[in-house]
Amino acid sequence: MFWDSDVGKWIEAASYALAHRRDDDIEAKIEAAIDDLEKAQAPDGYLNCWYLGREPDKRWTNLRDNHEMYNAGHLLEGAVAYFQVTGRRRFLDIMERYLDHIYATFGTGPNQRRGYDGHEEIELALMKLYYLTGERKHLDFATYIINERGQQPPHYFDIERERREGGDTRQPYVHGNYEYSQSHKPVRDQDKVVGHAVRAMYLYTAMADLAAELNDPELKRACEVLWDDVMQTKMYVTAGLGPSAHNEGFTHDFDLPNQTAYAETCASVALIFWAQRMLHLDLDGKYADILELAMFNGALSGLSRDGEHYFYANPLESDGTPTRWEWHTCPCCTMNVSRLVASVGQYFLSTAEDGVAFHLYGGIASNVDIAGTKVSLREVSTYPWSGDIKIHVDPETPATFDVKLRIPDWCEGAGVSVNGETIDLSTAEKGYLTINREWQKGDVISLDLPMPPVRLYAHPGVIMDAGRVALKRGPLVYCLEETDNPGGKVQRLKLPRHAQLRTEKSDLFDGIVTLKADATAIDEADFRQLYRTDPPQETPSTLTAVPYFLWANREQGSMVVWVPEAVG
């Protein structure tokens, strides 16, 4: 009943791909899907293929569980993207007719239902449509459903259930409570991140959009409080979110198991959405740091190198049994990571009338309008393998404006120069260095971001990682895979605290940087019984680590992110 959403996400991803290179076959497939949706749409504008085809008499009877507005949101995002790329608005017209039906059905007016969807998504889609069209009704409805969420008593889902079940309210909610859908409190009163991880991230994304658009300090404060809760107590070192498969989401503070981590790919993708919107609220490097962490680790790990297999869940430790799916009966992650990769350029920089801010690095070219002139920007680097970055700034005519460079929180000893002239980094604020000058054709910014490998230690509350370290270089979290560390499962390896971490350019995966260190290895063959009084024998060894996002692309075998540390 939620597959309309995957059609919408596919159209969105395909549209972003068309922005890079037009393709008649892809466009024909999109048009065929739009034909089917147009034929399916009811005379009153309603459009949900499950209900229209199977249960037309039950539409809008179970917003709590059955994703009608969620589906509409993803279809709407697809329609917006397709229009932006092609200028064709037939799909957008279909969705605007559907929205008119939704606006007439739900709200606070006479004969309207004060409902909202159990799975957030339409909220952020409506903000995209508002930015595209400028029509206030879309902003107003997004405001309504965000403000209405969690209002009680009575709770709308209870009203809906009583109506659906003929007055019998004894049937419990399948997930136990309304924290699952972040509808347990009004959004401005929420201070702990709870429930289904993807739903939460979509909600907070829309809240941040709305806070910025309406200049709403209470909503901004709620976003900041919830952000801090995730960062301080609930996020994996890879930017994965949600330890539990039971609710596909959050449990309690510091509950971050490794081998059973759910860390759904969709949740990391949605975290990127939220981080980007928080940057719109406040240009603070802490948001871009997490955007980058999720981009290079928690989200990218979901996609295989061949582009044809994916992870739904992203554990941080494996005994060798998990492999990426070719397909899944709930294919949300395939489309989510696809639309992220296809639209990745949208996250690298943002502009204002008086300047441009670089949030990410890795090779991008863009033409923008700043300070009344057209400016060609070209960032050249092999990032994230090297922090040696060049940014070519070429205005059509000389112009004075700001170029803001993110200096990542993980970087110490950064260096910046313009045309060879050193720039003082002491003026950097909130993780961004501002360079204001009259820019001319041929100006080149050189940015040096040293990225030595480092050890990370988890908060003592994360008991699963006590006595262990994670390895990181620049924005990349590393892991050990059995194929690079022969001799048994990688869990037998220990990293001495004072062992030097070394970088090595490798031929793997088109030339990645691996990490190596002297280590010790427990001799598993020495154990002949389950328990004994003598400690295990350890032998000198060498460990090799590869970026986490690349694991499970070669021979099947064990994997670990958090490596046991030998203190002696």
Residue-by-residue pLDDT tens, the chain, 568 positions = 999 999 999 999 999 999 999 999 999 999 999 999 999 999 999 999 999 999 999 999 999 999 999 999 999 999 999 999 999 999 999 999 999 999 999 999 999 999 999 999 999 999 999 999 999 999 999 999 999 999 999 999 999 998 887 755 555 566 778 999 999 999 999 999 999 999 999 999 999 999 999 999 999 999 999 999 999 999 999 999 999 999 999 999 999 999 999 999 999 999 999 999 999 999 999 999 999 999 999 999 999 999 899 998 999 999 999 888 888 888 888 889 999 999 999 999 999 999 999 999 999 999 999 999 999 999 999 999 999 999 999 999 999 999 999 999 999 999 999 999 999 999 999 999 999 999 999 999 999 999 999 999 999 999 999 999 999 999 999 999 999 999 999 999 999 999 999 999 999 999 999 999 999 999 988 888 999 999 999 999 999 999 999 999 999 999 999 999 998 6
Contact 545, 514 (CB under 8 A): yes
Query: What single DSSP character describes residue 346?
Result: G
Q: Shortest CA distance to 332 belongs to which of 310, 300, 305?
A: 310
Contact 515, 499 (CB under 8 A): no
Q: Shortest CA distance to 545 belongs to which of 491, 496, 503?
A: 503
With both helix axes pointing from N to C terminus, report the angle between 136-148 and 90-105 in degrees, rounded to the nearest 10: 50
Cβ density class 225-258: b for 16+ within 10 Å, e for less: ebbebbeebbbbbbbbbbbbeebbbbbeebbbbb
Strand residue runs (E) in 123-214: none
What is the assigned CATH class of domain 349-448?
mainly beta
Q: For CA atoms 164, 166, 169, 170, give the dihedral sign.
A: negative
Residue 472: CB partners within 8 Å, gap ≥ 6? 237, 410, 453, 454, 455, 456, 478
Q: Rg of the chain's alpha carbons, rounded to an integer? A: 25
All structural domains of the chain with their residue ranges: 1-167, 189-196+215-346, 349-448, 454-566
Does the global pTM surpass 0.85? yes
Q: Residue 49 catalytic? A: no
Catalytic hit among 120, 148, 179, 248? 248
Residue 534: CB partners within 8 Å, gap ≥ 6? none
Catalytic hit among 12, 123, 223, 332? 332
Residue 19: CB partners within 8 Å, gap ≥ 6? 84, 85
> Cα(192)–Cα(190) distance, rounded to whole angstroms?
6
